[in-house]
Amino acid sequence: MRPHKFAIGFSAATAFMLAGCSGGDGTPSTSPLPPFSTSQTASEQALPYAGAPKVSMPFPEKIFTIDPCTDTLDADQTLKAVGKPAETKRVDAETVGPGCQWLNTMTGGQAIMRFATKLKGGLSPIYENVKPKAEIWKPISSLQGFPAVAYVTPSGGTPDRFCQLSIGATDNTTIELTINLGDTSRGKKDPCESANTVADLVMTSLRAKAGV
C-alpha cells in the first residue's frame, strides 16, 4: 500500500489513544500489553527495516522525560480530543513506557498515549509483525514531519470503534496512541481519523517542547 497523508481536522467529541488494547466487545481497556514483540530482530538489525520509513528529523531523547499528561494536551486540547466531561490520569506501563489517558466519563470515549521507550526498534517491528495481521493498515507519510501508521488488528478492537496509531519519534522509539470512540460517536466517525486528530494535537505540543 502506498503511504498517504491523512487530512488533519479538529473534532469536538472524539476518541483516544495509545498502546492499550480494547476488550473483545470493543470496550476500552488500559492493558499495558504491546500489540507486537520486539524481543528478536529489533535489537539485531540495522534500523529501519521491514519497509518501515526512516525518521529523518527525530525528537531529542529528552522529550520522553516530560510528563505525558500535563506537558502534552492542555484543557482546551483535551476537550477537542474527548469532549466533556473529561478525566485525565497517568497510565504508565512497565513494559511500554510512561503514558496518559484522557477519558470522557459519560460516553466512554478515550485517548491513551504512551512514549514507548521500553519497546525497541521504533516502527520497524510494527511493520514486520503487525502489518501482516492488520485488518486496517494506513501509513501516514508525514504527521507534522514524522512518519506514522494507523492500524486495527483482530486483538485490538472493532474497526468502528478502535484504532491504534504509531508515530516514529526516532528510528528506535515510537509514540503510541490508542483511540476508542465513545458511544455517541461509534458508527458516525472514523476511529483512525480521530486518532490522527488527537495525534496532531499531541505532536503540536511535543514539537513546541522540543523546539523542532
For residue 147 the three cell numbers come to 512518519
Q: What is the pTM of this model?
A: 0.81
The helix or strand, by DSSP H or E, that contains position 197, with its residue range, turns out to be helix 191-210
Asked if the model's pLDDT at residue 24 lies above 60, the reply is: no
In tens, the pLDDT along 126-147 reads: 999 999 999 999 999 999 999 9
Cite the beta strand spans of the chain per DSSP E. 86-90, 99-104, 110-116, 136-143, 146-152, 162-168, 174-180
Query: How far apart, in whole angstroms, are the C-alpha atoms of residue 123 and residue 174?
Result: 7
Give the domains, in start order, of the chain with CATH numbers: 46-63+85-205 (3.40.1000)
Q: Where are the alpha helices (DSSP H) in 31-108?
A: 75-82
Rounded to the nearest 10°, the torsion over CA 190, 22, 3, 1 is: -100
In tens, the pLDDT along 102-113 reads: 999 999 999 999
What whole-number percentage of the chain has pLDDT above 70? 79
The rounded mean pLDDT for the chain is 82
For residue 175 the three cell numbers come to 509514540
- Phi and psi at residue 69, to the nearest 5°: -95, -60
Cite the beta strand spans of 44-130 per DSSP E. 86-90, 99-104, 110-116
* DSSP letter for each residue of 78-92: HHHHH-SSEEEEE--
